[in-house]
Amino acid sequence: MAQNCYHPSIEGAQHGAKSLPQFLDYAKRSGASGAQPSNYMLQGDKGLQKAKEIKQLFADRGMTLDGVSAHCPFWVHTTAWTGSPTIRPFLPPDVAKKSENEIEKWAESYLLKLLDLCAELGVKIVPMFWGIAFGWEMATGYPWGFWAGGNYDMVKEGKERFVKKTAKLRERARSLGIYLAHEIHPGTAAMCADDFNMLVEACDGDEVLTVNADPSHCWEGEHWETRFRKVADRVYACHVKNHVIRPGLPVRMMDGNWPNRAMQFCDIGTGDLNMTRYAEMLINIGYPQRYCQAMGTKSAPLVVEAESAFRDLDATSTNGIQYVRDHLCFPLAAGSFEEGMGA
């Protein structure tokens, strides 16, 4: 019988109110066979939990540990230099009061410890995203005419800043055999495929710089297939997530009330994006093979990150897990469909 190359999994960042045991119990009940907890779920009373304890929680439930989601602390680390207050919700209260330089050093130290824990857990792929390395002016994505002037060049300076600020983290990841999978996302160091490839080039092709594919962030012109084929050989992780664009509304607006916005995350099966074609494309560009080789597994996770401004989070995520299980974890073709034709 043909083998599935995928299994249903779920990302933990949206479920931060749950403890790790609660999150795993919920995921198991919903039909997931693996899970990708957030870094916050791995926190104990005195720092990060022990690898043995975390492994046991997964083993007790017969679930696979599919990675560690570390988006927020990486974003904080590469954004701290800007002095933006938006990093504060992701910091301990005493750290949030410190200077930009002190916060960056704290984040770097924390992430180095997290990478060491990931290595102990056997996790070789860490989904994340890099922060505002080029400054908020460029993070708007609008081609302002003052990105460069007589004595400054924000693109050149941003690349140099990124290389310098990420050096220790990339070096530690490289030494541990860990891939740092950036989610190409608005308001990060790489908002499109070309931005990401620019970072890779600036870091001399560093192999630890990889991609966490998420098609739901392709809502400003770059088609998801164009994006992920441009970075095809660096896709080591993925989210399954959908969106809809409500017509007649601006996709960028100063309104933080999600139900009012044009772009809405939604349940996986009924959004604007064809998730079956997305899952097939991931096979075509080699994601399952790369993941399985790096992690030593027989299948790769399709990691549900379902969100909705209108639906209950748990119900939306459960619906997403079951959609992935029932529709996207399909048996692989053994060869060409033409081989079964003829006498």
182-238 pLDDT, tens per residue?
999 999 999 999 999 999 999 999 999 999 999 999 988 899 999 999 999 999 999
Angle subtended by helix axes 20-30 and 51-61, to nearest 10: 20
Per-residue pLDDT reduced to its tens digit, 167-179: 999 999 999 999 9
Q: How many CB atoms lie within 10 A of CB 211?
A: 28
* Burial bucket for residue 84 (CB in 10 Å: 0-12, 13-18, 19+): middle
Q: Are 275 and 268 in contact (CB under 8 A)?
A: yes
Residue 210: strand pairing partners? 181
Q: How far apart are CA 321 and CA 274, in angstroms?
A: 16
Q: What are phi and psi of 279, to 5 degrees?
A: -65, -40
Tokens coding 250: 């601006």
pTM of the predicted model, to two decimals?
0.96
The rounded radius of gyration (Å) of the Cα atoms in the chain is 20
Residue 126: strand pairing partners? 180
Q: How far apart are CA 127 and CA 248, in angstroms?
A: 34
* Predicted local distance difference test score (pLDDT) of residue 342: 59
Q: Show me where the domains of the chain are located.
A: 6-144+152-340
Share of the chain above pLDDT 70, in %: 97
- Residue 139 pLDDT > 90: no
**Model confidence band, residue 333 (pLDDT cutoffs 50, 70, 90):** confident
* Predicted local distance difference test score (pLDDT) of residue 340: 63
Question: Which residue in the block uniquely carries the two structure tokens 């941003």?
Answer: 158
Per-residue pLDDT reduced to its tens digit, 267-306: 999 999 999 999 999 999 999 999 999 999 999 999 999 8
Give, as one character, the DSSP assignment of residue 339: G
Taking alpha carbons only, the member of 59, 204, 200, 178 closest to residue 130 is 200
* Predicted local distance difference test score (pLDDT) of residue 284: 97
Q: Are 130 and 78 in contact (CB under 8 A)?
A: yes
* Predicted local distance difference test score (pLDDT) of residue 145: 75
User: Distance of alpha carbon 248 from its chain centroid, rounded?
Assistant: 29
Per-residue pLDDT reduced to its tens digit, 34-62: 999 999 999 998 899 999 999 999 999 99
Question: Class of the 6-144+152-340 domain?
Answer: alpha beta
Q: What is the mean pLDDT of residues 246-268?
A: 93
| Integer CA distances (angstroms), 192 to 57, 228, 247, 253, 267, in order | 37, 10, 23, 20, 24
Taking alpha carbons only, the member of 2, 34, 13 closest to residue 291 is 34
Q: Strands, DSSP E only, in the chain?
A: 6-10, 34-35, 43-44, 47-48, 64-65, 125-128, 179-182, 209-213, 235-240, 242-245, 263-266, 300-304
* Predicted local distance difference test score (pLDDT) of residue 227: 98
Q: How are beta strands 47-48 and 43-44 bridged, if at all?
A: antiparallel
